[in-house]
Structure 1
Amino acid sequence: MASHDHYPIAKQHMLVDARESIRSARVIIDELHDERVFDLIGEYVRMGRTTKVLAPVKVPDVNTNALGMAYAQAVANVFGFDVASDVFQITSEKRDRRVDAMSRLGLPPLFDGEIEAGADYILVDDVFTTGGTLACLRGYVHRHGGNVIVCSTLAAGTRVTREATRYDRRQMGVALAPTSVRVRELRNNLADEYHALDSVFCEGLKYGLQQLTEQEARFVSSQARTIRATRESVSEWFAGRIRAARSSGIQKNG
């Protein structure tokens, strides 16, 4: 998707020309999206219930990415649902421009807006990287009384797709929550520091190790193995990196 001719306009130019960005996003969806995904989404739809489609977009005056919004509208059009247009991501722009896992982990996205209690929500986004944005949005919806029934993205990062469930040579599903294998690996690599690191995450990020995504758990597990090999404290290492990431984010916000 990133090599598509329309990608730069759809991804970065919303503030320059919103209509052109949305048109480019629609072209990408029409040309690259696999229609079978709609069938898979439909398997989770519950008849007779209010259902909305929600993308983690930023407020209009800072949003530069039309892809998530356009995909939300495409899914809504297929099923006859409404797009939830009053929930926004309020995290600073700086997090989005970082690709390293620790920076993204240390600056989880925040959301604001109204969730309809009891309604079902289909969450969509443009790219699945670590899954952190979707996981945080899912938590926000659930905390405010909504029900997330399925998540879908237009594409996934290279690391994710290498391990995806394959269907006719195309990746049709990836794990958002940690697999049982990953949970065991994480516990083994953390050993006696598991509870200490869980406390670090709860204090610094407001959620524990059990709320990590599969890709985040993979990163933490790999780092833990490397850190323990140097006889450093895993919990202290992560505590320092989380403080640094959050301090950087706060500086960006002023």
Structure 2
Amino acid sequence: MPPTATSLREYGIPIGASEPFSLFEHDTDLKKHNCYQSAKAGDEQAAFILLKELALPFLIGIKGKLPRDAIFVAPFARESGGDNAIPQVLATFCQSIFGGELDNGIVQVTRVFHTGADPMERLAMRPEFEGKVMSQRLYVLVDDVTNMGGTLAELANHIQRHGGIVAAIIVLVNAGRLKRLAPDKTIIGKLERRYPNEIINLFHICPLALTANEAQYLIGFKTADEIRNRRTKATEEIHRRLRSKGIELTADNNG
């Protein structure tokens, strides 16, 4: 089995933070910037140039819509060398423009290799976060691209589980089919009736803590057996995809 988060995702993205502030709906403009590949590979200077040229007017434009004295936090790995530099540099930009604080203590402790993954692979390999949360403080989550919203949901879960308040989300690209991150309650009700226990048992996610795109994806399955079979196939696909890149999943990949 691939490494996956073992803790329960019990808190969803709050309604008040469900509409991310975003610059693009597709990643085309981001990827065609001449600094993108270097920034994605971990070059902080390239990330700075990319954000200055693409995102600075966008960030200045939303300045009055962000809470004061917020803590800005981006998902980044404990061992960040060679990893995507854009989210953390974007968080630094936000702190500089909006004030507040920058958090460097909350880190992703599992590697999930989501680049190129399909929706079931993303659900099967959840990231997990550790780090001190300031109770009752307002947090703004920051990332470069969101698709299913799962990584942001896991970060939001960690913050809320430890007493923090997720007040807003900023992304460069909101690439999900559904742009709102919180799920429709009608869809969640259908999932709970159709699969009373399976979603928690298979994914360690409470139905109410699913994102809108995760819930919409799962409602497309007719039976629990269909979900189980697709998850098994996704596990095989994860191993095959990563082996082709020279990555062999072991317990050590789990942080």
Q: Given the two structures, how large is their TM-score scaled by the length of structure 2?
A: 0.74
1:22 aligned to 2:44?
Answer: yes
- In the TM superposition, residue 34 of structure 1 has moved relative to its aligned partner by 5.9
Please, what is the CA RMSD of the aligned residues?
2.6
1:10 to 11, 29, 39: 39
Counterpart amino acid of 1:142? Q
Q: Which has the higher helix share?
A: 1
- In the TM superposition, residue 251 of structure 1 has moved relative to its aligned partner by 3.8
Counterpart amino acid of 1:32? L
Q: Which runs of 5+ in 2 are unaligned?
A: 1-29, 240-247
Distance across 1 between alignment mates of 2:231 and 2:108: 20
The DSSP-based 3-state class of the residue aligned with 1:153 is: strand
Distance across 2 between alignment mates of 1:199 and 1:105: 16
Between 1:238-247 and 1:114-123, the stretch displaced more is: 238-247
Residues 24-54 of structure 1 deviation map (CA, whole Å, 9 limit, x = unaligned):
1111112222634444364240x4xx52100
More RCO (CA 8 Å, sep 6+): 2
**Who is 2:11 aligned against?**
none
- Cα 1:143/1:82, change in 2 over 3 Å: same
Distance across 2 between alignment mates of 1:98 and 1:63: 18
Residues 94-131 of structure 1 deviation map (CA, whole Å, 9 limit, x = unaligned):
43234211000111210011111121111000101111
Give the alignment of 1:41-190 within 5 angstroms: 42-45=64-67, 47=68, 50-62=69-81, 64-92=83-111, 94-157=112-175, 159-160=176-177, 174-179=179-184, 183-184=186-187
- In the TM superposition, residue 239 of structure 1 has moved relative to its aligned partner by 2.9
8 A contact 2:63–2:97 mirrored in 1 = no
- Cα 1:42/1:63, change in 2 over 3 Å: farther
**Who is 1:219 aligned against?**
217
8 A contact 1:56–1:89 mirrored in 2 = yes
- In the TM superposition, residue 57 of structure 1 has moved relative to its aligned partner by 0.5
Structure 1 or 2, whichever has the larger Rg, is 1
- In the TM superposition, residue 156 of structure 1 has moved relative to its aligned partner by 2.5
1:236 to 206, 225, 228: 225
Distance across 2 between alignment mates of 1:41 and 1:199: 43
Instruction: Name the count of aligned residue pairs.
Output: 214
Q: Which runs of 5+ in 1 are unaligned?
A: 15-20, 164-173, 229-233
Q: Percent identity?
A: 24
The DSSP-based 3-state class of the residue aligned with 2:167 is: strand
- In the TM superposition, residue 79 of structure 1 has moved relative to its aligned partner by 1.6
The DSSP-based 3-state class of the residue aligned with 1:85 is: coil
- Cα 1:139/1:198, change in 2 over 3 Å: farther
- Cα 1:252/1:7, change in 2 over 3 Å: farther
- Cα 1:142/1:122, change in 2 over 3 Å: same
- Cα 1:43/1:198, change in 2 over 3 Å: farther
Distance across 1 between alignment mates of 2:48 and 2:81: 20
Distance across 2 between alignment mates of 1:239 and 1:41: 45
Distance across 2 between alignment mates of 1:10 and 1:238: 36
Distance across 2 between alignment mates of 1:149 and 1:56: 16
- Cα 1:87/1:243, change in 2 over 3 Å: farther
Counterpart amino acid of 1:140? H
8 A contact 1:128–1:155 mirrored in 2 = yes
- Cα 1:202/1:8, change in 2 over 3 Å: same
